[in-house]
Amino acid sequence: MNQPHVHILMGTKNAGAFLSDQLASIRRQNHRDWSLWISDDSSIDSTWEGLLDFRSNTPEYDIRLLKGPNVGVAANYFYLLAQRELAGQWVAFCDQDDVWLPHKISRGVKLLKDRENSHVYSSRSFYVDAKLSGIGVSPEPMRPCHFGNSIVQNCLRGNTIICPPGVTDYLRSILYTTANAEIPFHDWWMYQALTGAGFSVIHDRKPSILYRQHNANVMGAPVSHLKHRLVHIAKGEFANWVDSNASAMLRLSSVLDAPARGKLLRFLDWRMTCNTRRRPTLNSMGIYRQTYVGDIALNLFARCGCL
């Protein structure tokens, strides 16, 4: 397979503290055939100036700087993906505050060889602190990355995703359903939309990025952010995310395959059941977390009315 041109999509907002590390790591990629598309959501720090400097100092690459819609992270990435020049193209999603390892693009492209119309790539990550000191590694999925998992958990990390042309075009074809929708996370939406339509996830055991953990992360390392996750559940935020995602998937019901559509409708009925103690377990409906401990916790929260 000839080395394809990969369009890197980065959303930024007030990224000044960490942006330079990420941009430098993109320049160090083994895969040299790339362009960088950046949509900035009205940053008020030095982000825009830093992007202009990077573009002027990197004339050998096509670097596009766009003004984002400024209505949230998910909408910013959808805005990037909707750019008409990206039809039929390879795209890689990129956060503003991580560091890509040199093999990030090349390994993803290699593992997607001959599966360009059926698979999406993601990988494990090395967890690092704000100063890039190592603090751990993300876990491997223990159970299938299927639609039943996507209803209650995101295993497709946006900062590692690479989409071949077939996946890019499918996602672009359904972007219209996101208009005026309250979608909390673009990558979680992609995980559901892809697995629900029969696409498969390649989850690389080899980490491809340094995933920086800091106070601005909404969703970070499972262990270090456990307290925050429990707070999200207790406050009902997790339930709101799940409901928002389910509503977004209902808009996609015509493109979901029959098993996924059935799971979605059963889950929506389950959510409408007032007597939480009489609801069947989510596992019995084919809906699950990646760990059995996660399943137990999820069902306990469901019985307590937190989901």
Residue spans per domain, the chain: 6-218, 228-303
Q: How far apart are CA 31 and CA 27, in angstroms?
A: 10
Q: What was the pLDDT predicted at 231?
A: 62
pLDDT of residue 307: 81
Say if CB 214 and CB 103 are below 8 A apart. Answer: no
The C-alpha angle 272, 278, 283, rounded to 5 degrees, equals: 85
Q: Which pLDDT score, from 0 to 100, does residue 39 have?
A: 98
pLDDT for res 89: 98
- pLDDT tens by residue, the chain, 307 residues: 589 999 999 999 999 889 999 999 999 999 999 999 999 999 999 999 999 999 999 999 999 999 999 999 999 999 999 999 999 999 999 999 999 999 999 999 999 999 989 999 999 999 999 999 999 999 999 999 999 999 999 999 999 999 999 999 999 999 999 998 899 999 999 999 999 999 999 999 999 999 998 766 555 555 445 555 666 666 678 999 999 999 999 999 999 999 999 999 999 999 988 777 788 999 999 999 999 998 998 888 888 877 8
The reported pLDDT for the residue numbered 301 is 85
Indicate yes or no: pTM above 0.85. Answer: yes
pLDDT given at position 273: 85
The DSSP result for 53-102, as a single string, is HHHHH-TTS-EEEEE---S-HHHHHHHHHT-GGGTT-EEEEE-SS-EE-T
What's residue 217's pLDDT?
Answer: 59
Type and span of the H or E element at 11:
strand 6-12
Whether CATH 3.30.70.870 fits 6-218:
no
